[in-house]
Amino acid sequence: MEACQICPRRCLANRLAGESGECQVATQVVVSSYGPHFEEEAPLVGRQGSGTIFFTYCNLHCTFCQNYTISQLGEGNPVAKETLAGMMLSLQDKGCHNINLVSPTHVVPYILEALELAAAKGLHLPLVYNTGGYDSVETLKLLDGVVNIYMPDMKYSDKKIAEELSGIKDYPEINRAAVKEMHRQVGDLQLDEQGVARRGLLVRHLVLPNGLAGTEGVVKFLAREVSTNTYLNIMAQYHPCYKAFDIPKIERPLLGQEFSEAIELAQQQGLYRLDTEKSPLRFISG
């Protein structure tokens, strides 16, 4: 962190001296909210909910982010490691099935500090690393044996689209290397007798209008280089937010046909563990 290389941006900010880089976080983690969450994937939610902790800011700058007040505008409050550990233990006391770390990439060191404190006080729930998918393999290797469930986004197959919409030139290359490392560590998603996730990889892919997410490339990669047993949530929830209204290619909601085509592409590649819950009201006709 003295010359920060925690994420693939490698912005070299001296975060220990109070400098903030692309992620806008320096010496203290910032949390937007925490609590039991019931709108995640079914294997995470179970009956008691997923114990989510939403970290403020992000190492991506997605123009269409639906949580932009948190990820881009900084909605949240700084918390000490003792407070963060207390949040984790509180979620366990509420009966949550896991600790779901949302947007953790840029604050891994702070999370590890808090985990050490929480584990000493009895934290034993599976840890979910819920990420935008732009993660350094070197940092992920530090989490081997710590994280139980990896839940990365796979946002794009085309680096030009990634640069245009998220400000990242090398997203596909970095993202695929990260997903392979995650799978190496935890394997395919494993469920207990109640259908609750205990360990493994769960991938999210948000379908964008006009095929901009490159779904075909994503599902081919998962089927051919990861596993046809990959648990994949193909998401239909896209709607214009934040700066998307100024970008003609993404200024409209998703079409139902576009979502159906994405599902078909995954099935054609032999991917069968598909979490495809959607809200038809999000779609527009066409």
How far is Cα 169 from Cα 8, in angstroms, rounded to an integer? 11
Average pLDDT over all residues of the chain: 94
Average pLDDT for 34-58:
96
pLDDT tens, residue by residue, 114-173: 999 999 999 999 999 999 999 999 999 999 999 999 999 999 999 999 999 999 989 999
Number of domains composing the chain: 1
Report phi then psi at 261, rounded to 5.
-65, -35
Give CA separation, 236 vs 231, 263, 276, in Å. Answer: 16, 10, 8
pLDDT at position 169, please? 87
Q: Within a domain: residue 17?
A: no
Neighbours of 212 (CB within 10 A): 21
**For residues 41 and 22, which has the higher predicted lDDT (pLDDT)?**
41
Count other Cβ atoms within 10 Å, centred on residue 17: 10
- Domain range for 127: 28-282
Alpha carbon distance, N-terminus to C-terminus of the chain = 49
What is the pTM (predicted TM-score) of this model?
0.95
Any domain includes 70: yes
Cβ atoms of 138 and 189 closer than 8 Å: no
pLDDT of the residue at 112: 97
268: which 2 tokens?
């054609």
Whether 9 maps to a domain, the answer reads no
Q: Would you say residue 277 has pLDDT above 70?
A: no
Residue 251 pLDDT greater than 50, yes or no: yes
For residue range 174-219, list pLDDT tens digits in order: 999 999 999 999 999 999 999 999 999 999 999 999 999 999 999 9
pLDDT given at position 22: 87
Residue 235 lies inside a defined structural domain of this protein: yes
Max CA-CA distance within the chain? 55
In percent, the amount of the chain with pLDDT more than 90 equals: 93
Entry field: residues in the chain: 286
Which carries the bigger pLDDT value, residue 5 or residue 282? 5
Cα angle at 198 between 104 and 175, to 5 degrees?
40
What's the confidence (pLDDT) of residue 172? 97
CATH code assigned at 42: 3.20.20.70
Specify if 2 maps to a domain.
no
The C-alpha torsion from 54 through 56 and 59 to 65, rounded to 10°, is 80
Beta bridge partners of 187: none
Task: Specify whether the CB–CB gap between 51 and 125 falls below 8 A.
Answer: yes
Q: What is the pLDDT of residue 276?
A: 62
Average pLDDT over residues 216-237: 97
- Cβ of 119: how many Cβ atoms within 10 Å? 14
Give me the pLDDT at residue 285, please. Answer: 43
Query: Does 262 score more than 60 pLDDT?
Result: yes
Angle at 269 between CA 268 and CA 271, to 5 degrees: 100
Residue 13 lies in a domain: no
Within a domain: 116:
yes
Assigned domain for 94 exists: yes
pLDDT band with cut points at 50, 70 and 90 for residue 286: very low
Q: Could you tell me the pLDDT band of residue 94, with boundaries at 50, 70 and 90?
A: very high
Average pLDDT estimate for 106-112: 96
Give the model's pLDDT for residue 267. Answer: 97
Q: For 144, phi and psi rounded to 5 degrees?
A: -60, 120
| E strands in the chain | 30-37, 50-55, 77-78, 99-102, 127-131, 149-152, 190-191, 197-206, 231-235, 273-275
